Amino acid sequence: MVLSNRSRPMELVLVVVCLSLGLLACGSRPAPAQPAAPQPPQPQAPMAPQAQPAPPQQPQAQPAWPQQAAPAAIHLVGIWEAQTPTEYGVVFSQMILQPNGSYSYQVVLGDLMTWETGFYEVGPSYIHFSLQNYGPTTYKGTELSRPMSWTVFYTVVDENTMVWEDAVLGNRWTVHRRR
């Protein structure tokens, strides 16, 4: 596909927005199932002796996303940075996770810098982000928008390195704690 020079800025905007969102997972995952509230014991009828052994149990359905071993303990609060090469140049990103559950995130590619703020929740091997504000809302005359929430799955490499994955877009990248 050949694009004119006039459509090149639009293409760049779309790539930057997709990359910045892709770096931190564009889609949200279903929330993990919450355990049912404990129920009071129910009276049971006396059991008759069984003449036949119980049928074998069916295997439980596997979740749609890949399972990981329990994550290594890591303190997520801090400044996490990544540099991701693309065909348009290197995308620089910085995620700041605050102890109060708020975050700020910015992505830079060329002359475009995007930012967002909101709140995050941590689960086993994932971080779910809920967007509160973002900018810019336009770039070179094009409206920009963001999903209101997204999730990344993480694998701990060491106390200062994680691999983040956007299972929706299939992107993986490494983030490093800034010292």
Contacts of 117 (CB under 8 A, 6+ apart): 102, 103, 104, 105, 131, 132, 133, 134
| 8 Å CB contact between 96 and 117 | no
The rounded distance, in Å, linking the Cα atoms of 128 and 137 is: 23
Per-residue model confidence (pLDDT) at position 3? 44
pTM assigned to the model = 0.62
Of 154, 141, 143, 139, nearest to 107 by C-alpha is 139
**Residues 19-44 pLDDT 10s:** 454 443 333 333 444 444 444 444 44
Q: In the predicted model, is pLDDT for residue 59 greater than 90? A: no
When pLDDT is cut at 50, 70 and 90, the band that residue 156 belongs to is very high
Q: What is the pLDDT of residues 66-106, one digit of tens each?
A: 444 444 568 999 999 999 888 889 999 999 999 999 999 99
CA-nearest of 115, 121, 118, 67 to 92 is 115
Average pLDDT over residues 54-61: 50
* Residue-level pLDDT at 96: 98
Cα angle 11-109-78, degrees, rounded to a multiple of 5: 135
Contacts of 68 (CB under 8 A, 6+ apart): 125, 153, 155
72-177 CATH: 2.40.128.280
Residue 120, pLDDT above cutoff 50? yes
